[in-house]
Amino acid sequence: MSLVDTPAVKRLADWDGDRLERLATEYDTPLYVTDLDRIRENFARFESAFDFAHVMYAAKANTGQAVVRTLYDAGADIECAAAGELYRAIEAGVAPEDLQYTAVNPPDRDLDYAVDLWADTPELTVTAGASMTLDRLEERGFDGRLAIRVNPGIGTGHHEKVATGKDAKFGIPYEEVPELVESARERFEFVGLHAHVGSGVLSGDLDDHRRALQKVADLAARVGDLEFLDLGGGFGVPYRPDEPPLDIEAAAEMVREVTADVDATIALEPGRYLVADAGALLTRVNTIKETPETRVVGVDGGLTSLIRPAMFDSYHHIRNISGGDREPVTSSVGGPLCTSADVFCTDRPIPRSEAKDLLAIGNVGAYGINLASQFHSQPRPAEVAIDGEDERVTRRRETFEDLTRLENEAPGNR
């Protein structure tokens, strides 16, 4: 089977349960497991479908160095939404000329870092989403490759918090772009337009996605003389086990049709599509509590390990690795934090869990470990990357000492 013929989604049931149990035993829990082969497969499938486009990886989905390096080695350039992501990408071995920086209300230190990087690597492209960002770049002596982010006024995606195409925070208002482009052409090496209209787009969202992208493509034709039109990412994956995957060929044909009259390179920035189903979170059951309302299953992972259910009300499939053949019992799975938001699911049928059982949570490769925190003084989890038969720790587990390390190093606490 070639890479492009691999299944469109890796379901949680497809993970080798014996291997996951062994990894949890060897490396403890909570534990992120990242399948690098699956990332390569997803990239090959995406690149094959969008063979007419320049494909970059949207690093914010997962900035782990193993993930970034895997995609870069596979042929993806890297799009970064913050200076720290630029730094992490370079640490992962990405050449600065293969980076694109999309500034969103950038702090001064971010712009300082980006401009210093550009001074040594003039191939770096900076994307600005506010006219003041252009002024701030010019004040720093930047006159290099610049793109302008467009706000088309239409958002798509799985949740209102990711429908960026209609959020005033992101991009220049649509009708103001032509005038700002003329100004940018006088002050910088203006190279393109950029838009990202939402995230988690599946086949049923393609019509809305088309409307948003068509507006941006029409604007690109109106502005003219572009090196590229960057349509962002947003292509989603199914989180529920019975939800069909995105028809990537249909998505590619839609983009091809929308941009048929655009005389510029089409660029895309997939993130979630490449990495989401390549990650699983392993967590161990420590407490079982029967209540009149539900069966409470307490685990050692929590919203500090995976915040998406609390932050976006996101569904993540849960598999009982230890007892998958048991009868399902309506259960609520939650972690060790003192907040009602610390739950992975509520009243969901799950094979009856017992103490010491290993549970796996699926589709955590995107916006999983990147959003982990030390809230409630919880050390962040470790990560193991699997690469064929090979396995390696790519992020060590934090210790209690790590919780106070920065405070102990601060002069005011010595």
**Catalytic residue positions, numbered:** 338
Give SS3 for 94. coil
- State yes or no: 249 annotated in a binding site: no
Pairing of strands 99-102, 125-128: parallel
What are the residues whose beta carbons fall under 8 Å from the beta carbon of 197, sequence distance 6 or more? 152, 154, 155, 156, 157, 163, 164, 165, 166, 209, 212, 213, 216, 232, 234
- State yes or no: 240 annotated in a binding site: no
> Phi and psi dihedrals of 150, rounded to 5?
-100, 140
- State yes or no: 272 annotated in a binding site: yes
Distance CA 118, CA 105 (A): 19
Residue 3 is classified by DSSP as G
Helix (H), strand (E) at residue 257: helix 248-258
Give SS3 for 191. strand
> Phi and psi dihedrals of 386, rounded to 5?
-105, 135
Calculate the alpha carbon distances from 351 to 15, 322, 331 in Å.
17, 9, 9
Beta partners for residue 370, in sequence order: none
- State yes or no: 144 annotated in a binding site: no
For residue 44, give the amino acid letter: A
Token pair for 259: 């941009």
Using the Cα atoms of residue 154, residue 156, residue 159 and residue 163 in order, give the sign of their dihedral: negative
- State yes or no: 315 annotated in a binding site: no
What are the residues whose beta carbons fall under 8 Å from the beta carbon of 107, sequence distance 6 or more? none
- State yes or no: 367 annotated in a binding site: yes
Residue-wise burial string across 161-184, b where 16 or more C-beta atoms lie within 10 A, e elsewhere: ebbbbbbeebbbebeebeebbeeb
Listed in sequence order, the DSSP H helices in 323-412 are 400-409
Token pair for 70: 């895997």
Do 171 and 151 meet the contact criterion of CB atoms below 8 Å apart?
A: yes
Beta partners for residue 80, in sequence order: 101
> Phi and psi dihedrals of 99, rounded to 5?
-110, 150
- State yes or no: 349 annotated in a binding site: no
Binding residue numbers for substrate: 272, 308, 367
As annotated, the binding site includes: 234, 269-272, 308, 367
| Binding residue positions for pyridoxal 5'-phosphate | 234, 269-272, 367
